[in-house]
Amino acid sequence: MRVARWSLGLVGDLCLTVGALLLMFVVWQLWWTDVTAGRAQAATVHELSRDFAASDPAPGGSTPSSTTSTPATLPEPAVGKAFAVLRVPRFGADWVRPVIEGTGHDVLQRGVGHYRGTAMPGAVGNFAIAGHRTTWGRPFHDIDRLRTGDVVVVETTSAYYVYAVRSHLVVDPTDVRVIAPVPNRPGVGAAKAWLTMTACHPKYSAAHRYVVFAELVHTYPHDAGLPQGTLAAPKAA
């Protein structure tokens, strides 16, 4: 009996220890990764903003500041390089995230990832990006709150690209048609500039993908800035 009681006590202690470790892992996964990733992503945004501002022509320079000029399209960066800043007013006035080339696990820990081979910001085709919905800063946690007409702004060293949300759908994780040059129409030549945002769905699951499609509606050279009100918070959904 004494041995049996000792064995049961040992098993109980082990169960408590395993439970505590699992709880610690959940706290780390769901909370602490958000804290650390959020700080790192904010630092990346700060660095990008500083670099973008430094590349603007000096006041009185020869480069015009006109919304009628056509900013140069960026070349595809190396994997892991941050090259753009994403703002979504629907997610909050202070919501801002870096866009990084690639969609590997290490990239998505650092911000929003750009699908290799899809269009660059502002270019004709499909600028397709992905983000975590939970953990690692969860940039697309509220992707399902986006509504038709909502604004999504992509800032690069040369321009601000303003997209307007057109539609959304839920697909299987293997459905790559959504990132085709014309979303959901593989093999069709693109005539417009699209933005596609993807994230796991539902929250805390990877069973499906929630996808939002937006169309380019305005382009503003970086040194011209955004018109007042562009980033105004939309009406509550």
Place of tokens 């220890």: 17
Distance, first Cα to last Cα, the chain? 64
Cα–Cα distance between 66 and 194 in angstroms, integer?
Answer: 23
Nearest to 199 by CA among 154, 146, 156, 155: 146
- Which positions ≥6 away from 81 have C-beta within 8 Å? 100, 101
**Could you give the CA distance from residue 121 to residue 162 in angstroms, rounded to a whole number?**
10
Alpha carbon distance 45, 98 (integer Å): 5
Going through 115-229 in order, the beta strands assigned E by DSSP cover 125-130, 151-155, 159-171, 193-201, 208-221
Could you tell me the pTM of the whole model?
0.83
Residues written for the chain: 237
Q: Provide mean pLDDT across the span 45-50.
A: 97
pLDDT in tens, 73-132: 789 999 999 999 999 999 999 999 999 999 999 999 999 999 999 999 999 999 999 999
Q: Which residues are CB-neighbours of 231 under 8 A, at least 6 positions away?
A: 87, 89, 93, 151, 153
Write down the mean pLDDT value for the chain.
86
Counting Cβ atoms within 10 Å, is residue 188 exposed (0-12), middle (13-18) or buried (19+)?
A: exposed
Q: What is the pLDDT of residue 233?
A: 86
Rounded to the nearest 5 degrees, what angle is found at the Cα of 145, between the Cα atoms of 143 and 151? 80
Domain boundaries, the chain: 54-224
Largest Cα span, the chain = 92
Residue ranges in 56-154 assigned as alpha helix (H): 105-108
Query: Would you state the structure tokens that stand for residue 126, as one six-digit string?
Result: 């499909």
- State the alpha helices, DSSP H only, in the chain: 2-27, 33-55, 105-108
Asked if the model's pLDDT at residue 33 lies above 90, the reply is no
Alpha-carbon distance values, 186 to 10, 69, 126, 230 (Å): 60, 31, 11, 32
What CATH superfamily classification does 54-224 receive?
A: Sortase (2.40.260.10)
The residues annotated with a catalytic role in the active site are 132, 200, 209
Residue pLDDT, tens place only, 147-197: 999 999 999 999 999 999 999 999 999 999 999 999 999 999 999 999 999
Closest CA to 173 of 146, 203, 200, 140: 200
Q: How many CB atoms lie within 10 A of CB 44?
A: 18
